[in-house]
Amino acid sequence: MRRKTRVEKYSGFTIRKREYASGETAWQLDIPLGVRGDRERKSYATLDAAKAAADDKYKELLNRGATAFTLTDRQRLDAVEAVGLLKGAASLADAARHWLRYNRQADKGQTFAALVEAYLADMAKRDLRPATIRDARKRLSKMKKDMGPLPVVRIAPADLENWLDAQAVKTQNRRNFVTVARGLFNWAMERGDLDNNPADKVQLPKAAKDLPTILKPETVAKIMHGAEAVAPDCVAYLALCFFGGLRPMNEAGRATWESVDLENNTLRVIPEVAKTRRARLVTIAPNLRDWLQRYRLANRGEQIAPAPMTLRRRIKAVKKAAGLTNWPPDVARHCYASAHLALNGDIQKTCLELGHTSPQMLFTHYRNLMSAKQAADYFDIRPATTAEVEALKTELAEAAEKEAQAATA
């Protein structure tokens, strides 16, 4: 432990004698720094050494002060104005150093376009979800078209807000753009390219409180039965989405028959395809079991869903067969979550089936109000008989023929 003894004033500086319990003595010189009250303290073995250091510092300050007389009137006025603008937040020298660092970095630093390309390449190396990389690429590429030549260090929150306003990007889409931009600039900060994240100060619109769109059980039945007639090789995939709650792209789209355990009525979602990178077991509902048993032979390979391009064509045909003009994103998962919660009345159980760690995600993005009766009807949707499928094929073929005749008339 140390204790203070006497204090001396010398050449405008303060020198304190420090005595320690060990018996050692030191002389501490206080050197003021800037205008914010900061100071530097240096210790010396003797009082004479501390005074000699004070003399050197005093001469240094005199020499600096003398240079002030070489300034022009305009330079002195400029300095006074700068000090006024800073209002004690930093010294004039600190502000000048910051300006030089900022502009030199801008002159030799990377552009927004270069940063975007480096960031996307790094995302690919980190083996992130393909959907995450696709979304980042789509949004950042759009921003790069207009902001590409800008030096990264000169991009301000106002630049981002003005760009979003010019694109008429609103509500959730605006929030998504800002989220992707924040990820980009945070990555740049980790690399030492930036001191702060301009996207952090962008004003976000309030999240929409509208309930997610779901389909009526009778509409889902039309989709499934229509798929039986026009796209039997994607029926099992659709069943996983509507009656297993799997995410359409990574989870249902990459699920294999090996993950289906009909003996124990479970479907294993492996970490490689799960959004959260955590494995989970989904309970196979009785009607989902019927769909998977009936249409397993439609896909003889390991993959349950057809190839992506084929799947897109099949879904287009299914929408037409079901008379749908709109297919909202993730609507099958929304339907499943709402029906499962209404039927079981156990929010924790529904969260486990969906792979959520908390109910908040369920309430915010997936839950809609569905009655217990609707939920029971939903999970009672089962494959049609062979005769019903053939009848629907005939009906759809006749409708297509009439449509073609009308088009050529």
Cite the residue boundaries of each domain of the chain with CATH code 1.10.150.130: 112-201
Pick the CATH number of 112-201 from 3.40.50.300, 3.90.1150.170, 1.20.1250.20, 1.10.150.130: 1.10.150.130
pLDDT value of position 5:
65
Average pLDDT on 99-113 reads 63
Q: How far apart are CA 202 and CA 91, in angstroms?
A: 29
pTM exceeding 0.85: no
Q: What is the mean pLDDT of residues 96-125?
A: 74
In tens, the pLDDT along 314-325 reads: 999 999 999 998
Structure tokens at 326: 């709109």
What average pLDDT score do residues 234-248 get?
Answer: 94
What is the percent of the chain with per-residue pLDDT over 90, rounded to a whole number? Answer: 36
Residues 6 or more apart whose Cβ sits within 8 Å of residue 36: 88, 89, 90, 91
Answer yes or no: is pLDDT of 69 > 60: no
Check whether 35 has a pLDDT greater than 50: no
pLDDT mean over 364-377: 81
Q: What is the mean pLDDT of the chain?
A: 83
Q: Report the topology of domain 217-408.
A: hpI Integrase; Chain A (1.10.443)
Could you give the residue range(s) of every CATH 1.10.443.10 domain in the chain?
A: 217-408
Burial of 359 (0-12, 13-18, 19+ CB in 10 A): middle
The pLDDT of residue 310 is 93
Q: What distance in Å separates the CA atoms of residue 71 and residue 74, rounded to the nearest whole number? A: 8
Q: For 142-191, write each residue's pLDDT tens digit.
A: 999 999 888 888 888 999 999 998 888 778 888 899 999 999 999 998 98
Which pLDDT score is estimated for 82?
76
Look up tokens 């789209």; give the residue.
253
**Residues 92 and 83: beta-carbon distance below 8 Å:** yes
* pLDDT number for residue 65: 59
Q: Write the pLDDT tens digit of every residue in 113-155.
A: 999 999 999 998 887 777 788 899 999 999 999 998 888 888 8
Is 126 exposed, middle or buried (CB count within 10 Å of its CB: 0-12, 13-18, 19+)?
exposed
- Mean pLDDT across 377-382: 96
Asked whether the predicted pLDDT for residue 79 surpasses 80, the reply is no
